[in-house]
Amino acid sequence: MAILGASYSRDMGIRRYPLLVYGLVPLTALVLQAWLPRVLWGQAWFDLPLVVTIYFALVRRSPVQGAVMGASMGIFQDALTHLAIGVNGIVKTVAGFLAGSVGGRIDVENRTIRLLLTFLLSLLSSAVYVLIYHILLGMDLKSSWLTEMVKAVANSAIAMVLFPLLDRLQIRE
């Protein structure tokens, strides 16, 4: 079964990583997301947990894994705020699911596609976030699309640096 699984992964181009990477990389993303705004004048112009979710969903090519990882990361991210737990969870669940679905259909090795996907999924996440607040919760959330655009660009820039670094951590056959 293990041989079958490994063979299936190899045939499908699914990457595998040491178990420690699945634990440490998301944790580091959460910690940096909470810590970096302190040294960046209080501004959070990026979403590291989202970038990491997109990466693992893309390279694992699994919508389920992407959705579960996105939900976990989003819930922990929400737990660090004083807002309702679940908003970021839903956003990243959707983003992870879509990234995993797309990852099975396109060439995820291409850097341009990766960047474009990260940019689009970041914008989609912002839209879902606003929709959840307005429609699902019926609460006011004043947001600027310019800010969300800047955030999407920043996420793409981070992805451009982070994805090659994470690629090096995969298990080579």
Interface contacts to another protein, rule CB under 8 A? 27-28, 30-31, 33-39, 41-44, 63-64, 67-68, 71, 75-77, 79-90, 93-94, 97, 101, 132, 136-139, 141-143, 147
Is residue 97 a contact partner of residue 66, using CB atoms and an 8 Å limit? Answer: yes
Side chain identity at residue 148, one-letter code: E
Is residue 42 a contact partner of residue 89, using CB atoms and an 8 Å limit? Answer: no
Q: CB-based burial of residue 145 (10 Å sphere; 0-12 exposed, 13-18 middle, 19+ buried)? A: exposed
Q: Which is nearer to another protein, 136 or 171 (CB)?
A: 136
Q: Which is nearer to another protein, 7 or 147 (CB)?
A: 147
Q: How far is the CB of 37 from another protein (least distance, A)?
A: 5
Helix (H) or strand (E) holding 41: none
Q: How far is the CB of 121 from another protein (least distance, A)?
A: 15
Q: Which is nearer to another protein, 101 or 110 (CB)?
A: 101
Task: Provide the 3-class DSSP secondary structure of residue 86.
Answer: coil
